[in-house]
Amino acid sequence: MDEPTPQLRDKHRLLSELARRRGFFWGSFEIYGGVSGFIDLGPMGTGLKREIEDTWREFFLRRHGFVEISTPIITPQRVLEASGHIKNFKDPMTECTNCHRRFRADQLIKENTGTETEGLDLEQLTILLKQAKCPECGGILGAPQYFVTMFKTNIGPYGEDPAYTRPEAAQGIFVDFHRVLEVMRERFPLGIAQVGTVLRNEISPRQGPIRLREFTIMDFEIFFDPETPECPYLEEVKDDKLFIVTEDTRRKGKNETTRITTAEALEKRLVKSPWMAYFMAQSTRFLAKLGIDQHNQRFFEKLSTERAHYSAQTFDHEVKLDRWDWVEVAGFAYRTDYDLRSHMQATGIDLRVFKAYDSPVEKTIRTIRPSHEKIRQKFGKDAGRIISLLGKEDLPRILQGKKTGDSIRIEAHDIPIELFDTKEETIKETGAKFLPHVIEPSFGVERLVYSTLEHNLRMKDERLILSLPFGIAPIQAAVYPLVNKDGLVEKAQSVHRSLREGGLRVEYDDAGSIGRRYARADEAGIPLGITVDYDTLKDDTVTLRDRDSWNQIRVKVKELKPTIDSIVNTGFPTKTR
Amino acid sequence: MDEPTPQLRDKHRLLSELARRRGFFWGSFEIYGGVSGFIDLGPMGTGLKREIEDTWREFFLRRHGFVEISTPIITPQRVLEASGHIKNFKDPMTECTNCHRRFRADQLIKENTGTETEGLDLEQLTILLKQAKCPECGGILGAPQYFVTMFKTNIGPYGEDPAYTRPEAAQGIFVDFHRVLEVMRERFPLGIAQVGTVLRNEISPRQGPIRLREFTIMDFEIFFDPETPECPYLEEVKDDKLFIVTEDTRRKGKNETTRITTAEALEKRLVKSPWMAYFMAQSTRFLAKLGIDQHNQRFFEKLSTERAHYSAQTFDHEVKLDRWDWVEVAGFAYRTDYDLRSHMQATGIDLRVFKAYDSPVEKTIRTIRPSHEKIRQKFGKDAGRIISLLGKEDLPRILQGKKTGDSIRIEAHDIPIELFDTKEETIKETGAKFLPHVIEPSFGVERLVYSTLEHNLRMKDERLILSLPFGIAPIQAAVYPLVNKDGLVEKAQSVHRSLREGGLRVEYDDAGSIGRRYARADEAGIPLGITVDYDTLKDDTVTLRDRDSWNQIRVKVKELKPTIDSIVNTGFPTKTR
């Protein structure tokens, strides 16, 4: 990696200004003074976000035949009770006893004292809070309490149908799992994704575009049979390196990165599931495709105390950012069967999957039945009632461990176990039901947008350039008439139209001097510039300009599309005008 | 239009079952007993929705160079107070005095008595409610009250930052208007769109996929100078017919459709804005592209009593549906400068746009200033204070209409108007500021999805076919190995992969008999089927099957892509195998 030039030291400020100027993002409700934890995406930001989402779909869904669904943001309380969110999705809050401002207790302690606080309980936080002070007025901080960080509301005009805005899109997937499995004709393993808005009512978010109360998540659950946890695609990435800060390393109080191939990480059980390892490798490639070098990526394993309530192993996929150091852009969680089991328990609906054996299996089972004849002999006119009552009992359980001479009591009668017949029966089972296990890769789109912008920010001759890769650039080329007269406009518009119809994301820009237009396009991350000038009218050629090198070549209009295709594959020619 | 075959009489039921079976949509939270007003989109529904959104972007945004932004769902109360939603976005609710169930009063009256109730006030509804009964228990209905139909919540752990989920995406656009205008370098007219989730806390929604509490809106605001309201694209659609039920017709108690060209509709002032007329024509084309024949479309003009609080003219773009008759899928509102003016007043921030004159305009203005010399002569040591106080007054207003001999009072002093100098000055104005007017086309995506499905539903030999147009079909082709052995699988997978890499949305399906797979694909709206059989291994040809005619042709694998391209343009060859 190149060292950042001195001017690029405060990348967050430079980027925020550029983002506002060129229409990537800015704080929401600006004219109303702003509300922290919300950002707006402008035309360029909305475009970049969509390209990142589509690139993600290609990496994680389409090539595997996995599917995407769409479920509501508003979620009834009973669903989030079953999923464990009402109980667990909360943050410790402290209130200043002097100015009464409220803060997230764990973050405040970390900022004040540097102590790592993830996973600490209220008691531990209470002790640590005594060493901290209110960051606003210096006052004494009160005892911490938990605050459920979901936006609460009600469905309909009744108060009795409480609901929350979803904190993750995953629950919609779990609730729909069986319906989708049926639609997909029981195809297994099954991958189901959802890209959509989630909301987290953070206590006091203060990290601009990084800690948002409302953002887009790409949640993706792969359901597999825990008895056959293999991933058929693993071969493709087995030699890909993973950069991991392991739980083991962290327990030793260290932060070193283990660099290990995907295959080795599985072999050494650093990663517990082949699907997890496969998607971690794909995620590394995905971020590289966005322009984030692997050396600025790492997987940070969570300690058991830090993991979400549903997870057996978790890695945060982190990206190094100038202002915030390592920031999570994706999480990889081994959710086991936690969620399906919880919803199955809460609803009583069987969410297990039937798995046929290769051939039916013969199974011997022991059945216990009261001998009607013997009971009639012993109990006479009471026999009918006794037999009927025995039919309602769980006889195998009741009779377990009993010996000859023992009896069981039904109303006023003692029934000797000798009156029961035990039989061995052979049945054929064609298959069995199991509850799938789940690996979840989950991505925060706005953080990916921000990380992509920061890692593509360059400085050249004291000017900012956003070197977005061609494939994700929201605008891939801009067409400029040199001047707005003498027929250049019509020609430029026709070039613009034909490139647009050829499938390129292309803009037309006729405002200001050509130099200013180039500078603007460099900041907006537009890879190619096409200038129509007086020579164009003579020989039907245009100037094709490269954003990153500022090199220019002269190209025939009719060869523009193939030239651009070849540049996308092999780079811009080095020859300059 | 063909008459529906008898089996297609209850299209809603047939479609709902198909939608569930093939993965288009179903009710949300099914395993929890369901919550009315929410639907889930399955894999096919999510795909179809995305294609409809992208088709819409092409029709309304890309070709005009208009832009898309993305703003939060959670909206502070003060923003919605300014926009008028807190005051106006409400429905009349009545509660049964017997069973205490709650209903939307106007809809209940309409269902009970057939009376049109849109726009009636509480007093009028109270009278009409006396003729209605509780639909659940037959009880007497209580007096109606208004209920704000937005989901209420709070931002952060304080109760003092109340907020709502947005009922439209438009407000995010208005709040950001000035920022986007700047990003777009003051390009004007400016079109800004937003595609995103909106929520409306309906009182008792009972129309399945049609009346939703949470849905996706495509809101699009075109900002223009009211002094130059022309639309430069009008020529393209001037001869397109619009089918309108005008306000005038409706006032006469009738429901007839006026069929009139877009140009005439403007000429006769049936449509008040050229931009509105242009987008109504484009919207008609857009729906036709989704497979909704124009004869099943109409524009239903709202009466002034029915219009939203911000609108000077409104048309509902309606589609005829089997169960619900005419249903609004889009609204066209002339929002004037209502919203920008409201936000400008609430924030004190100037949201006007500067318009340069062609050449600077000389303007004579009259200035009034106190003569310091004369005031000093008359008031001596008090003069300084008097001059200072006069500086704070709006002198032109105070002195307006006053004659020689009159005076104005400043503290204890009467200042004769003779002590003021009046001067005429000539200044050059380079331009003026104006508040743009707005035309809003706004589309409900889930209703478009439903209407698209219903209008493409056909019956052939007692089997359902979903004749989705190729361009919007979520899956455009399916590849089938005839059997899962003898090398057919590998061949079929390679055909599948090459078509996918060629940019087609293509599925691989090897489950069940080939006949069942065809039937399934017909229901899922997959236009083309490609079957790999034993002949494929000999001569490298496959069977290409048409969903709508069931015709089949034999095609060389390497000619598959060009053959499909030609079918998309000219239709499936009529020759059958």
- List the single best residue of B39, B56, B67, B69 to mutate versus A (max A Cβ within 10 A): B69
Which of 3.40.190.10, 1.20.1290.10, 3.40.50.800, 3.40.50.1100 is the CATH number of A475-570?
3.40.50.800
Asked whether the beta carbons of residue A72 and residue B32 sit closer than 8 angstroms, the reply is no
Q: B45 at the A interface (CB within 8 A)?
A: yes
Sole residue written with tokens 């300084």: B384
A99 neighbourhood in chain B, CB within 8 Å: none
A517 neighbourhood in chain B, CB within 8 Å: none
Q: B162 at the A interface (CB within 8 A)?
A: no
For residue A87, pLDDT over 50 is answered with yes
For residue B1, pLDDT over 50 is answered with no
> For chain A, where do the domains classified as CATH 3.30.40.230 start and end?
90-148
Q: How confident is the model at residue B5 (pLDDT cuts 50, 70, 90)?
A: low
B232 neighbourhood in chain A, CB within 8 Å: none
End-to-end CA distance of chain A: give it in Å, rounded: 29
d(CA B129, CA B217): 33
How many other CB atoms are there within 10 angstroms of residue B56's CB atom?
24
The architecture of the domain spanning A90-148 is 2-Layer Sandwich (3.30)
Q: How confident is the model at residue A5 (pLDDT cuts 50, 70, 90)?
A: low
Smallest CA-to-CA distance from B299 within B325, B328, B278, B262 is with B328
Lowest-pLDDT range, A112-121, B229-238, B393-402? B393-402
Q: How confident is the model at residue A483 (pLDDT cuts 50, 70, 90)?
A: very high
Asked whether the beta carbons of residue B347 and residue A32 sit closer than 8 angstroms, the reply is yes
For residue A358, pLDDT over 90 is answered with no
Q: How confident is the model at residue A470 (pLDDT cuts 50, 70, 90)?
A: very high
Task: For residue B353, give both structure tokens.
Answer: 């746009």
A108 neighbourhood in chain B, CB within 8 Å: none
pTM assigned to the model: 0.88
Asked whether the beta carbons of residue B76 and residue A179 sit closer than 8 angstroms, the reply is no
Amino acid at B517: R
Q: Which residue of B has its CA nearest to A152?
A: B153
What pLDDT does residue B575 have?
60
Query: Residue range B111-118: average pLDDT?
Result: 82
Task: For residue A252, give both structure tokens.
Answer: 């030793």
Asked whether the beta carbons of residue B31 and residue A349 sit closer than 8 angstroms, the reply is yes
Q: What is the pLDDT of residues B360-373, one digit of tens each?
A: 888 888 788 888 88
> For chain A, where do the domains classified as CATH 3.40.50.800 start and end?
475-570
For residue A1, pLDDT over 50 is answered with no
What pLDDT does residue A556 have?
97
Query: Residue range B380-395: average pLDDT?
Result: 83
- List the single best residue of A35, A341, A520 to mutate versus B (max B Cβ within 10 A): A35
Q: How confident is the model at residue B456 (pLDDT cuts 50, 70, 90)?
A: very high
For residue A3, pLDDT over 80 is answered with no
What pLDDT does residue A412 have?
82
> For chain A, where do the domains classified as CATH 3.30.930.10 start and end?
6-72+162-342+437-449
Q: What integer best gives the mean pLDDT of chain A? A: 92
β-pairing verdict for A477-481 and A528-532 = parallel
Q: What is the pLDDT of residues B311-336, one digit of tens each?
A: 889 999 999 999 999 999 999 999 99
Which residues numbered 101-120 in B keep a CB inside 8 Å of some CB on A? 102
Q: What is the pLDDT of residues A22-31, one digit of tens each?
A: 999 999 999 9
What pLDDT does residue B79 have?
96
For residue B125, pLDDT over 70 is answered with yes
Q: What is the pLDDT of residues A484-529, one digit of tens each?
A: 999 999 999 999 999 999 999 999 999 899 999 999 999 999 999 9
Q: How confident is the model at residue B577 (pLDDT cuts 50, 70, 90)?
A: very low
End-to-end CA distance of chain B: give it in Å, rounded: 30
For residue B70, pLDDT over 60 is answered with yes
Lowest-pLDDT range, A108-112, A511-515, A556-560, B181-185? A108-112
Query: Residue range A287-301: average pLDDT?
Result: 98
Q: A414 at the B interface (CB within 8 A)?
A: no
For residue B3, pLDDT over 70 is answered with no
Smallest CA-to-CA distance from A573 within A541, A528, A540 is with A528
For residue A537, pLDDT over 70 is answered with yes
Percent of chain A whose predicted confidence (pLDDT) is above 90: 71
Q: Are B141 and B97 in contact (CB under 8 A)?
A: yes
Q: B4 at the A interface (CB within 8 A)?
A: no
Amino acid at B395: L
Amino acid at B168: E
What pLDDT does residue A390 have?
84
Lowest-pLDDT range, A207-216, A390-399, A462-471, B242-251? A390-399
Q: Which residue of A has its CA nearest to B92?
A: A157
Percent of chain B whose predicted confidence (pLDDT) is above 70: 98
For residue A348, pLDDT over 90 is answered with yes
B493 neighbourhood in chain A, CB within 8 Å: none
Asked whether the beta carbons of residue B93 and residue A157 sit closer than 8 angstroms, the reply is yes
Instruction: Identify the burial level of A12 via C-beta atoms within 10 angstroms of its C-beta, where 0-12 means exposed, 13-18 middle and 19 or more buried.
Output: middle
What pLDDT does residue B551 have?
96
Asked whether the beta carbons of residue B175 and residue A214 sit closer than 8 angstroms, the reply is no
Percent of chain B whose predicted confidence (pLDDT) is above 90: 71
Sole residue written with tokens 């619009």: B242
Q: Are B313 and B334 in contact (CB under 8 A)?
A: yes
Q: Which residue of B has its CA nearest to A78?
A: B32
What pLDDT does residue B269 have?
96
What pLDDT does residue A113 have?
83
Query: Residue range A380-387: average pLDDT?
Result: 86
Asked whether the beta carbons of residue A73 and residue B214 sit closer than 8 angstroms, the reply is yes
What pLDDT does residue B280 have?
98
What pLDDT does residue B68 have?
98
d(CA A385, CA A391): 10
Asked whether the beta carbons of residue A72 and residue B38 sit closer than 8 angstroms, the reply is yes
B204 neighbourhood in chain A, CB within 8 Å: 156
Q: What integer best gives the mean pLDDT of chain B? A: 92
Which residues numbered 181-220 in B keep a CB inside 8 Å of some CB on A? 183-185, 187, 196-197, 199, 201-204, 213-214
Q: B233 at the A interface (CB within 8 A)?
A: no
A–B CB contacts, 8 A cutoff, strictly below: 214
Reported CATH class of domain B6-72+162-342+437-449: alpha beta
Query: Residue range A106-120: average pLDDT?
Result: 84
What pLDDT does residue A395 have?
78
